[in-house]
Each structure stands twice: as structure tokens, then as C-alpha cells.
Amino acid sequence: MTRNLGGILTSITVAHRPPLADWLRSLLPNAEHGGAPAAMHREVFGLERVDELKDCVLIAGDASPRKYYRVTFSSATADCDVTMIGVDSPASENNDAFLAIRALFESAGIRVPSLIAAELPWGYWLLEDLGDDTLLPLLSDHSVSVWYPKALNTLAAIAAVDTTRAELPPYDANRLTSELALFSDWFVPQLLDLDLSDQLGPVYEALTALLVDNALSQPQVLVHRDYHSRNLMVLNNHDLAVIDFQDAVIGPLTYDPVSLLKDCYLRWSRERQLAWLRDYQRQLESAGRLPALPEATLIRWFDLMGLQRHLKVLGIFARLALRDGKQAYLSDLPRVLAYVIEVLDLYADSDAPIGDFRAVFSARILPECHKAAWFALEPA
């Protein structure tokens, strides 16, 4: 059974979970149990009627168990087929948050995929098809000067979202600390097979305290939490749309700029990173979203936030490879390591916890990285 909630086909059945394709067929107007009325298809699908599910092809699975399918429907009243994106997302994947945050972004004028149909108890939903063009393969030394201002404009809009009525979790000390533990739990002992509990333990605890304090001392805004070139879609009109936003939180101002400007999948010079960061700072200050502060303060927030993120990512990529069999993430480790080394070198003399960690990192951890097969790929 389906019903119309604000132009969205929303199934309210909670019976045994069928295959995704069967659920999609149940949305057709000629489906068993009534299906959706033709008027709904004019409103939602943009067609007089949708007659047949022609295809449902897996196109992507992200770092989570969530899977995305390109769904093709045919219509006797249209000259061409219509495609949408079907999502199969297990209950473990925070599905309530995905739909709630999608609606929050959309209400703030941030371009996200439109929601067409949902069966939340089953973890199925149908989204607008934004195409196949993520930003990553379109970036070059020349094109980035066009795309990154657009990406930063969208990011400023995200940071400006009013979250007073949004039930979003805080990026608090517990969450930040547990993320940093991924490095000491997965990257060092599991991927590198190093037992450094005695040497690393106290040093890493002090570094964690410093990085958590840095994060919590910043203005707290809506944070996408994975805002980078693979999660930005390029549309036919050359606008950018945002995807993979289900883990959004209220957190540090510099977290999303770090994700974009110190992208784990490609690297720009530090000079360009800081120029973009200054532009972003001016944009937020002129909009009244950020009080005037010394540029050096923002850069320090940015760098130490980057160290937190990249230590976490080293652990996540190690876990994805070892636990989930997703070996492709190992090829990005050298680039992530380069970000870590850069910040350690910049701040080792001024911050004792960073200097102490750098000593252990350089003496014990980095030599093991150099021996690994995945280290053969030099950072871009």
C-alpha cells in the first residue's frame, strides 16, 4: 500500500522484506494490491503513467553496506525511458538520518537528490538520478579554479543551515576520541602488524586530547562529515549536488573544509589550500557566520582538524581493506600519510604532544609503511 506524503510515494507496509525489484514493481499503477494511482505518477515521476520496470543495475556500493542501483522504467506515453536511483540500505546504516538530513539540506536550498519513494522499514528508497559525473575525475590544475569556488559556496550554505530544530548528534569528545582510536586499533596493530602499546599509548592519548580540544574550541556548525570530490555530483547545468550526507553532525567549522581541501583522493599544494581557506573565511565573515579572527588561528584549527581526520582515515581504510575486503582503499594511504607527515612537521616544535607522537611515528610506524606493497603508489 502506498500513500502520498508531500509528493513522495511512501510505502507503509512492514511485512517480509521483498527483493528491491519487487518493491519497485509495487509502485507501478498496475501492481498487485492497487499500486500507485496514475495521478501520483504525473506528480512524482513526471510521466502520465509508468508501465514497466525495465532494468535495475548495481552501479555503486560505498564504504558502507549500502548499495545503489540505476533503475529504468518505461512508459507507453513517453518517448524515452526514465531512470532513477534505487537504494538498498540495511537497517544498520542510519536510514532515518539519511532521509531526515536530505530533507534538511533540501529545505535550506542545498542541491541534493530528490526523494521519490521510500520504504523505510525495509531500507529501500528511490531517488532522483543525478547522473554519473562526480567531481573527482573532472578536476585538473585548471578546472579546479572553476569548481572549488562552487564547492566552497555550497559548503558555506551548509555551515549556515539553521540546526536549532534538527535532531543532529554533536561531534563531541566521545565521538572524536573513538574516531582517533581507529588509527591505534586498526592501522598500527592490524595493517602494519606492530605492537606499540607501550610506546604509543601515552603519546597517542596526549595527542588525542590536543586534537579533541582543537575541534571543540571552534564554532560548531552543520558538518557534512565527508565533503569531498567523490561526494559532489556535477549536473548538466554545471551546478554541484551533494550526496552521502547521512552522517552529518553539529561539529567544528573546519572539518568540512579539511575534507574538501585536503581530499583523501587527490592533493593540491598547501599554497592553494590556504588561499581557498582564506576565501572561505572571508565569505563566512562577510555573511556574519564567523566572527573576525586571526588567519593564523583558522589555519591552526584547519591543520589540527586535518590531522584528526587523516589519522581516523588511516584506520578506516585499513579496516575497509582487512575486515570488508575493499582493498582499493589501500592505494590512497600514501596520500593520507603525506597529509599526516606535513602537519607533524609543521607543529612538532610548537606542540609537545605532536612532537612526541612524531618521534614514535617517524621511528617505528613510517618505516613499516615504507615496506608495505601499498606504499609503492606515491602520493599525487
pLDDT one-digit tens code per residue, 31-43: 554 455 444 444 5
DSSP letter assigned to residue 281: H
List the domain boundaries for the chain. Answer: 2-128, 136-376
Angle subtended by helix axes 352-360 and 333-347, to nearest 10: 130
Lowest mean pLDDT among 10-14, 245-249, 286-290: 10-14
pLDDT number for residue 378: 54
Residue 11 CB coordination number (10 Å): 20
Rounded-to-integer distance, Cα 70 and Cα 147, Å: 26
CA distances from 90 to 65, 119, 366 (A): 7, 12, 37
- According to DSSP, the residues that pair with 57 across neighbouring strands are 70
pLDDT number for residue 96: 87
Lowest mean pLDDT among 14-23, 208-217, 320-329: 14-23
Beta carbons of 302 and 335 less than 8 angstroms apart: no
Strands 52-61 and 82-88: unpaired
pLDDT number for residue 44: 52
Cα maximum dimension of the chain: 71
1 confidence band (pLDDT: 50, 70, 90) = very low
pLDDT number for residue 289: 85
- Composition of the chain by helix, strand, coil, percent to 5: 50, 15, 35
CB proximity list for 141: less than 8 A, separation 6 or greater = none
Beta carbons of 360 and 203 less than 8 angstroms apart: yes
Rounded-to-integer distance, Cα 186 and Cα 321, Å: 10
pLDDT number for residue 66: 86
pLDDT number for residue 30: 61
Rounded-to-integer distance, Cα 25 and Cα 28, Å: 5
Q: Does the structure show a pLDDT above 60 at 65?
A: yes
Fold of the domain spanning 136-376: Aminoglycoside 3'-phosphotransferase; Chain: A, domain 2 (3.90.1200)
pLDDT number for residue 6: 41
Nearest to 89 by CA among 130, 58, 123: 123
Lowest mean pLDDT among 30-44, 92-106, 183-197: 30-44
Rounded-to-integer distance, Cα 213 and Cα 199, Å: 23
pLDDT number for residue 78: 64
DSSP letter assigned to residue 375: G
Q: Does the structure show a pLDDT above 70 at 213?
A: yes
pLDDT number for residue 77: 66
- According to DSSP, the residues that pair with 285 across neighbouring strands are none
User: Which tops the pLDDT comparison, 167 or 315?
Assistant: 315
Residue 355 CB coordination number (10 Å): 15
The stretch 129-152 carries a mean pLDDT of 96
